[in-house]
Amino acid sequence: MSFVEDARKLSQDFVAPELRASLARFDASDKLAAERHAALPEKLDATRREIELQVQFALATRKIEDLQAVQQAAPQL
């Protein structure tokens, strides 16, 4: 066998399986990235809803505190 044939056989025996394994890992990570990207809007919506609820709670708490302050400041009838 010539050097080129030896190199070709070596690449088919060792490099090709490694390349296929690398490609399979890349495909798996690409699929995982696509799944995470697809789930991102849903996670962002949940986070936005949570923030909106926290803001509403803070506003309601502030309103209650303001009403309590007005009641305490008003002369007793």
Residue 52 has a pLDDT of 96
Distance, in Å, from the CA atom of 13 to the CA atom of 22, rounded to the nearest integer, reads 15
Mean pLDDT, the chain cut into blocks of 10 residues (77 residues total): 73 72 85 89 91 96 93 76
Rounded to two decimals, the pTM is 0.48
Residue 1 has a pLDDT of 61
How many domains, in total, are found in the chain?
1
Residue 77 has a pLDDT of 54
Range of the domain at 34: 3-73
* Geometric angle at alpha carbon 23, from 14 and 15, rounded to 5°: 10
Distance, in Å, from the CA atom of 24 to the CA atom of 30, rounded to the nearest integer, reads 10
Residue 50 has a pLDDT of 95
